[in-house]
Amino acid sequence: MELATLDGLAPREYEHHLDQKALDALEKTAGLDVLVKKFNDFGVERFLRLEFIGSNLKITPSSLPDVYEILEEACEVLNLKTTPEIYVRPDDYFRKLEVTTNNLEGITVGVNNPVIIISSICLETFTNSELRFILGCEIGRLKSQHILYQNIAWIFPTLSGTVSGLLASIPGASLLASSISGGLYLALVNWLRMADYTADRAGLLACQDINAVMTAMAKIAGLPKRYFDSFNVDDFVTQAREFEGFSDNTYNKILKGLSLAVRDQAFTIARANELLKWIDSGNYQAVLERKTKIQAAPPPSFCRHCGFKIEVAHAFCPNCGNALSA
């Protein structure tokens, strides 16, 4: 299948409005700036990056040429100028780090030098077209500058424990402690789920094959390998369409109720439901045909590279110098 290259594609053409809404709520939550500062002070980004590049197999044009080609192609289609490094990891790797994500999804760490990591089971499970979706999702996270808050959310339980311990004797620490035990984690996890909706759209734009995206999602949702050839994807599409969706309130209740356990849930049916709604609205086709009209984005209140709090409107971050809009 010939893929359309989406010239000049900007993330605002396809970002989900609930992603933006949850991000606004997150950035208004007390304690975020302190948490980001601790994340940077402890060098967590560097640690995460080193953990991965020091442990996993690098995918290059000569080591796994077909996989590398899919990544390059997806970057070109989605208008990401620099192809990030990519590694493949053993499947249980994340459990050891106490970072829980679904094995059938990619992971991206590092804001300034991003690295994409996929599990070896991804390569055994997905067809090339499905893999294009999986990698497209990660490229979408990079384009929308999701990485800083996503990485913070993953290591939040570890980081908050360490921070609380270290801060016990420091003045002002009680504010951080109460924020952490209060709404901050909830706001982070809520945003993380809404950010998935944006990533899925980028994945579809990279893959450009709705059936392949739906079979990939059916596999993430639990389709066993023995049914890969016989499964009728229409059944999955019907299930996703019939899903009633989460209202903001139900969603918040679920998150509060499940607390940390929620990190294990991929909410794949909810995600497929949202993606189908976007396709049905005609907006997916409009982006493909380069007919999207985009409105100017509101100025960000935090730099998504370094987490610096932006008090007055700037084009570039006064702390790290990176451009503030995606």
What is the torsion angle, in degrees rounded to the nearest 10, for the CA atoms of residue 68, residue 76, residue 45 and residue 12?
Answer: -150
Q: Distances from the Cα of 254 to the Cαs of 126, 257, 258, in angstroms?
A: 30, 5, 6
CB of 302 to Zn ion, least distance (A): 8
For Zn ion, which stretch binds (CB under 5 A), given 38-46, 131-139, 177-185, 317-325? 317-325
* 308 is an interface residue for Zn ion by CB under 5 A: yes
CB of 305: closest distance to Zn ion in angstroms? 4
Residues 182-241 that bind Zn ion (CB under 5 A): none
Instruction: Select the span of 78-86, 105-113, 146-154, 314-322 touching Zn ion (CB under 5 A).
Output: 314-322
Residue 320 lies near Zn ion (rule: CB under 5 A): yes
Distance CA 36, CA 42 (A): 10
Among 305, 309, 316, 325, binds Zn ion (CB under 5 A): 305
57 binds Zn ion (CB under 5 A): no
- Nearest distance, CB of residue 307 and Zn ion, angstroms: 7
CB of 320 to Zn ion, least distance (A): 3
Closer residue to Zn ion in complex, CB, 145/198: 145
| Binding piece for Zn ion, criterion CB under 5 A, among 55-63, 113-121, 165-173, 315-323 | 315-323
Q: How far is the CB of 316 from Zn ion (least distance, A)?
A: 8
Indicate the residue among 261 and 315 with the shorter CB distance to Zn ion. Answer: 315
Nearer to Zn ion, 30 or 320 (CB): 320
Please tell me what DSSP assigns to residue 201.
Answer: H
Smallest distance from Zn ion to CB 95, Å? 32
Q: Is 319 in the site for Zn ion (CB under 5 A)?
A: yes
> Which residue stretch of 84-92, 243-251, 273-281, 307-315 sits at the interface with Zn ion (rule: CB under 5 A)?
307-315
Q: Tokens 């500058």 label which residue?
A: 145
> How far apart (Å, rounded) are the C-alpha atoms in residues 152 and 144?
16
H-only helix segments in the chain: 17-27, 32-41, 44-53, 65-77, 93-96, 120-125, 128-143, 147-167, 173-179, 185-207, 210-220, 233-242, 248-258, 268-280, 283-288
Residue number with CB closer to Zn ion (41 or 229): 41
Does residue 306 touch Zn ion according to CB under 5 A?
yes
Name the phi and psi angles at 97, rounded to 5. Answer: -85, 0
Query: Looking only at residues 264 through 303 of this chain, which bind Zn ion when binding is defined by CB under 5 A?
Result: 303
Q: How far apart are CA 22 and CA 246, in angstroms?
A: 14
Among residues 226, 225, 223, the alpha carbon closest in space to that of 269 is found at 223
**193 vs 305, which CB is nearer to Zn ion?**
305
> Shortest approach of Zn ion to residue 146 CB, angstroms?
15
236: left (phi over 0), alpha (psi -120 to 50) or beta: alpha
Q: What is the residue whose two structure tokens read 């560097």?
A: 46
- Cα 41 to chain centroid distance, Å, stands at 23
Point out which residues bind Zn ion (CB under 5 A): 303, 305-306, 308, 317, 319-320
